[in-house]
Structure 1
Amino acid sequence: MGPLALVALLTLAACDAGFDGATSDNRAPETELSVRSSDLREDLGARRLISTVEVAWSGTDPDGVVAAYDVRSFQVDAPPAPEAGWARTARRDSTLRLEIPLGASEADVVVEVRSVDDAGAVDPSPARTVFPIRNSNPTVRLVAAEAPPDSTWPVVSFSISAADVDGDANLAGIEIALNDTTAGFVRLDPDVTFVTLVADDPQAATTSATLFTGRGFRNAGVSLPGLRLNADNVVYLRAVDQAGATSRTLRYPALDVDGQPVGTLFVRRVTSNVLLVNDVRVGDDAQVLGVARQALATYGTAGYDTWDLSETPQSAASPRFSAALPSTPDPTLRQTLALWDRIYWVSNAVTNTSVGNNLPRAASVMDLFFDGGGRILVQVPVTLPQGADVGGTANAAIDILPLSTLITFPEGVRALRANAGTAVRPAADVPGTGRGLPPLQAARLITSALPYAVGPDDVPLYRMSFYQNNVPSDTWEGAEVVASIRADRRSALFALPLFAGPSPLFEGTGAEGVIDALALMLDGLDFPTGSGRLAHR
């Protein structure tokens, strides 16, 4: 018998036997939670869980496959409509943040899960568990490594770390107050980890402070009243969660066990558009600063702010930046430097390394200062790179100074020297003045000066001849520039060391000397002849 006949017989037999060929209805899936108890209140007694819980589930379908799951949660005494509040997922587990009503410290929350099969049928009796939960207070701390200096200009930054054991999604915000908490806190987004306060009027006695968030310096659109300039300030911080619970209020500066501040937050007032930076961290800084002050006064720059970076010691064995600098170059130092439009920076070390030297750190974020029309005179002897900075790599100060390259010693050359009486020769008029620097000469043997090369956009102002090692007849044939200015008058460099102990190293050959030379370079950079102009931001 052939296959077709067999099929016909089976068909006839089926008809004769009375079989019904209609398709059966789809059967709904079933769901189980990994938490076997339907009400954890019975299991936990007086104990409660944190509001973030991990839940897993599974489903079975007797006539198909489970394609997805619907999940929802709600307060036990406020059940939603049967089809309200569901969220569909293909996952079989999740970390759920169970909501606690605003202002409450605990809640009983139902979690329900129902399976959905490949035909769209849902479990009519979802798996269900009641979770008794409690709200935990959030926490907040200041990152000590990025705390502001004890004395700072009116750009003050803090690095913040907030957390919540109930889950970071439970954080509602970071709140901040200045000097007075009774006036209320200003709330920032919960993901803020860095905040900067900028004085709206940096020359006032008391002013409001605009808040900026993140290292990208985003205006938060809010301000704090009552920033005191030339006075101590206190910043208060706290974290707030979605239930309205707050962390312990953090005070900066903190108080010791006797209720006394463990530090200060002294915010200085800006008084001028000119800043004199004392970055002399070896020897007698008073001598060098005295020359700088006289140079400023020569053409009438009588009013200026002073920033002392000299107190933090510097050594090759343990290089470190001044503790008076903001710990964060960007945005804090960048915004601080833009408070002035003329800077006279006096230092003992700039070009030898960027590690621990202050001007390279500042130069890396000086774009805002220059974009606002800023100009800078740097008075520092040129020294050659050392250690990791061999070749002068990664030193932003070299990029802003009017020099192209530092010299390199040929084989066998260890040092350059110049005898007493060696001329320091004016090389060109100072742009913007129509005058050349006064002739100078070495007052004694010079062992601590080095020349450098200038680029096509740099104007050499002084040249000086040297000899190699200790052989006066062995003339140095390389670069001779020891002072220069950029043609656009954005920056100038005076690279002659001034003192060996108490003794001056250079003197004028006429009535004018080093002070007059520095004053003329300041004039070329348009330093003001009075203190009437205000600082700008």
Structure 2
Amino acid sequence: MPVRLFSYLRSQLTLLGVLVIGILWASCDAGITGDYIENQAPSTYMTIAGIDREDEFRLSSQIRISWWGNDPDGYVAGFEYAINDTSEGAWSFTTRTDSTFILPITEGQTVDDVLFKVRAIDNDGAKDPVGARLRYPIINSTPSAAFKPTETPADTMFGIASFGWTIDDPDGLLNVRSTQIAFNDTLNGWVDIPFNATNNGELFISVSVDNKTVGIKTGQVYLGRSYSSAIDGEGNPILVSGIEVGATNTAYVRTIDAAGAVSMRDQVQWYVKQQKSKVLFLNDIGKNSSLDDMNWHLSYLSELGIDPDIWLINTGQPALGTIELSDQFPKVVNPTLKKTLSQWDHIYWVSDDVDRNIVHALDITSEFFAGGGSMFVTIPMKEVSQEDVIFNFLPVDSIGFFPPGGIETGFVINAGTEITPVDEPNAPTLKLESRVVGWYPLQAVSGSTLLYESDYRSTTLLGFITDYTLMEGVSIKNTEGNLIYFGMDLTKLNGNNNMKDFIEYMCLQQLGFQQ
């Protein structure tokens, strides 16, 4: 009985399975019924429907525009926009729903009505066939250009001058097409200078001309503080013409925007001086006898066949310990002053105070020395802090001092005292012509060479004078052999009438000076 029941149930289940399969097969064979719905294109809308502005109430060409889109059977994947030209190749894709645009004004016009059109694209790639459009009534604003007073040449320069200026446009820096500079010629002399809108409208260039002879020259343009050669779009060096060596020159700058509007010109003047020698004479004597003292030095150099270029840098007086860099130097140290000083092979630096421009020498002469230059410095050494910045440049380890609690009050050198060479019997011996006070003896820095010494003496509280023996150095040659410092005023040391021989020994023999 159980066996028969099991067989019966199995046959019934088999029959039921066949019926189910048949029903499913019949359903599949019948297919999906209903009407197919085509993809519907998205629609596009501008945030504002229209603009009604005329004359001076027109908009600036830099405008923020916004839009949005809707898709009834999917979603908006992005947009395409076009400005004025709505032909198929003129559209640009974006996923944004707003952006800032510089709308183009037809060149030569001050006002224009610019068409902006946008269309949505859905997830199936369908584009709004109509799109949204709006005409923007805009007015062009005039750009500007102005030199930066702190980045223009000093009154007189040699072969290198730098110019910094700013440009601006009320319609945005992206609306600036070019900025230009010209020298002495505003008709045919304009030259485009590359600029980057990300630099906040600030430009800085240097121009170098060959100033070995007088006359009108062509200059090479260098960009930025890095002094990189400027090149045009074809890879050629950017050159400027019309700069006259031996004359006063005028530099002009201007800015031109995308619509062709030209800014007012700004201008600055400076004199370009000829370089006639390999030797530069720096006169930083601040006292009234500056020119007389300078001519005294120049007379001996002339006897040796050296007619140096002269740079007066003795403006200003020491304040709060040191002096600001002379305004006769370029206002920009790097690269302008450094590059300029490196044009000479030798420098003869005279001053009456170690608190004057010599305190800046370490910085401003770095390229001069890197290029193989040599320098003679003569400045009387006075009482300064042992931590003074001057000791970062001069090869001096320390200067004369008195032990605490002593009776010494200062230094004195008597008339007739000799300044004698150290370990060089053929070097000239100098003689002090009159008594001086306040000149301090020197201790040479390790590795340098002591060239001259003298008999320094000390004044005392008791009124008598005593010999000073802690150090007696007067002149030191640095370790590299390219700098000699002499810590006295040479105009007072010609008691032996042999100053020509001394300058020849120091400058020509020791430092290799040549005209």
Q: Determine the C-alpha separation between the residues in 2 that align with 1:513 and 1:51.
A: 76
Cα deviation, 1:414-446, whole Å, max 9, x if unaligned, reads 9641341655332233xxxx9434154584243
Q: Which runs of 5 or more residues in structure 2 are unaligned? A: 1-19, 197-201, 231-236
Cα deviation, 1:242-283, whole Å, max 9, x if unaligned, reads 222211122324xxxxxxxxxxx2221112221111111235
The residue that corresponds to 2:65 in the other structure is: 55
Pairwise CA distance, 1:513: 5.0
Pairwise CA distance, 1:518: 3.4
The residue that corresponds to 1:256 in the other structure is: none
Q: Secondary structure at the match of 1:49?
A: coil
Q: Determine the C-alpha separation between the residues in 2 that align with 1:22 and 1:268.
A: 91
Same amino acid, percent of matched pairs: 28
Q: How many residues align?
A: 472
1:412/1:23 Cα in 2 relative to 1: closer, same or farther (>3 Å)? farther
Asked if residue 198 in structure 1 is aligned to residue 214 in structure 2, the reply is no
The residue that corresponds to 1:218 in the other structure is: 228
One-letter identity of the residue aligned with 1:418: V
The residue that corresponds to 1:366 in the other structure is: 365
Residue from 281, 290, 293 that aligns with 1:285: 290
Asked if residue 101 in structure 1 is aligned to residue 94 in structure 2, the reply is no
One-letter identity of the residue aligned with 1:401: L
TM-score by length of 1: 0.77
The residue that corresponds to 1:257 in the other structure is: none
Residue from 382, 388, 391 that aligns with 2:387: 391
Pairwise CA distance, 1:169: 1.3
Q: Determine the C-alpha separation between the residues in 1 that align with 2:333 and 2:283.
A: 18
The residue that corresponds to 1:30 in the other structure is: 43
The residue that corresponds to 2:351 in the other structure is: 347
Q: 1:80-95 maps to which residues of 2 (within 5 A)?
A: 80-81=86-87, 83-95=88-100
The residue that corresponds to 1:232 in the other structure is: 248
One-letter identity of the residue aligned with 1:188: I
Given that residues 347 and 380 in structure 1 are in contact (C-alpha distance below 8 angstroms), is that contact kept between their aligned partners in structure 2? yes
1:427/1:292 Cα in 2 relative to 1: closer, same or farther (>3 Å)? same
Q: Secondary structure at the match of 1:331?
A: helix
Computed over aligned residues only, the root mean square deviation of the Cα atoms, in angstroms, reads: 3.4
Q: Secondary structure at the match of 1:493?
A: strand
Given that residues 361 and 393 in structure 2 are in contact (C-alpha distance below 8 angstroms), is that contact kept between their aligned partners in structure 1? no
Q: 1:371-386 maps to which residues of 2 (within 5 A)?
A: 371-383=370-382
Pairwise CA distance, 1:507: 5.3
Residue from 310, 313, 322 that aligns with 2:314: 310
Residue from 451, 462, 484 that aligns with 2:476: 484
Q: Determine the C-alpha separation between the residues in 1 that align with 2:127 and 2:401.
A: 80
Pairwise CA distance, 1:306: 1.0
Pairwise CA distance, 1:285: 1.6
Q: Determine the C-alpha separation between the residues in 2 that align with 1:462 and 1:127.
A: 89
Q: Determine the C-alpha separation between the residues in 2 that align with 1:125 and 1:410.
A: 96
1:498/1:315 Cα in 2 relative to 1: closer, same or farther (>3 Å)? farther
Residue from 125, 134, 138 that aligns with 1:133: 138
Pairwise CA distance, 1:187: 1.7
Cα deviation, 1:126-173, whole Å, max 9, x if unaligned, reads 222111222222110011122212222232221111111121112122
Residue from 331, 335, 347 that aligns with 1:331: 335
Q: Determine the C-alpha separation between the residues in 2 that align with 1:519 and 1:100.
A: 70
Q: 1:252-267 maps to which residues of 2 (within 5 A)?
A: 252-253=268-269, 265-267=270-272
1:445/1:235 Cα in 2 relative to 1: closer, same or farther (>3 Å)? closer
Q: Secondary structure at the match of 2:364?
A: coil
One-letter identity of the residue aligned with 1:426: P
1:128/1:507 Cα in 2 relative to 1: closer, same or farther (>3 Å)? same
Q: Secondary structure at the match of 1:292?
A: helix
Q: Determine the C-alpha separation between the residues in 2 that align with 1:410 and 1:110.
A: 87
Pairwise CA distance, 1:409: 6.8
Residue from 45, 70, 76 that aligns with 2:54: 45
The residue that corresponds to 1:417 in the other structure is: 411
Given that residues 173 and 240 in structure 1 are in contact (C-alpha distance below 8 angstroms), is that contact kept between their aligned partners in structure 2? yes
Cα deviation, 1:187-234, whole Å, max 9, x if unaligned, reads 222447112222234323332222222222222323233322222222
Q: Determine the C-alpha separation between the residues in 2 that align with 1:442 and 1:22.
A: 121
Given that residues 291 and 515 in structure 1 are in contact (C-alpha distance below 8 angstroms), is that contact kept between their aligned partners in structure 2? no
Given that residues 329 and 361 in structure 1 are in contact (C-alpha distance below 8 angstroms), is that contact kept between their aligned partners in structure 2? no
Asked if residue 438 in structure 1 is aligned to residue 426 in structure 2, the reply is no
Given that residues 483 and 511 in structure 2 are in contact (C-alpha distance below 8 angstroms), is that contact kept between their aligned partners in structure 1? yes
One-letter identity of the residue aligned with 1:338: S
1:410/1:223 Cα in 2 relative to 1: closer, same or farther (>3 Å)? farther
Asked if residue 517 in structure 1 is aligned to residue 507 in structure 2, the reply is no
1:360/1:125 Cα in 2 relative to 1: closer, same or farther (>3 Å)? farther
Q: Determine the C-alpha separation between the residues in 1 that align with 2:283 and 2:401.
A: 29
TM-score by length of 2: 0.80
Q: Secondary structure at the match of 2:380?
A: coil
Given that residues 412 and 459 in structure 2 are in contact (C-alpha distance below 8 angstroms), is that contact kept between their aligned partners in structure 1? no
Give 1 or 2 for the bigger CA radius of gyration.
2
Q: Determine the C-alpha separation between the residues in 1 that align with 2:130 and 2:137.
A: 22
Given that residues 383 and 440 in structure 2 are in contact (C-alpha distance below 8 angstroms), is that contact kept between their aligned partners in structure 1? no
Q: Determine the C-alpha separation between the residues in 2 that align with 1:376 and 1:444.
A: 28
1:498/1:449 Cα in 2 relative to 1: closer, same or farther (>3 Å)? farther
Q: Determine the C-alpha separation between the residues in 2 that align with 1:117 and 1:245.
A: 41
One-letter identity of the residue aligned with 1:424: I
Given that residues 208 and 225 in structure 1 are in contact (C-alpha distance below 8 angstroms), is that contact kept between their aligned partners in structure 2? yes
1:31/1:359 Cα in 2 relative to 1: closer, same or farther (>3 Å)? farther
Q: Secondary structure at the match of 2:90?
A: coil
1:322/1:243 Cα in 2 relative to 1: closer, same or farther (>3 Å)? same
Q: Secondary structure at the match of 2:166?
A: strand
Q: Which runs of 5 or more residues in structure 1 are unaligned? A: 1-7, 254-264, 532-537
Q: Secondary structure at the match of 2:369?
A: helix
Q: Determine the C-alpha separation between the residues in 1 that align with 2:188 and 2:403.
A: 68
Given that residues 54 and 95 in structure 1 are in contact (C-alpha distance below 8 angstroms), is that contact kept between their aligned partners in structure 2? yes
The residue that corresponds to 1:497 in the other structure is: 489
Q: Determine the C-alpha separation between the residues in 2 that align with 1:87 and 1:412.
A: 86
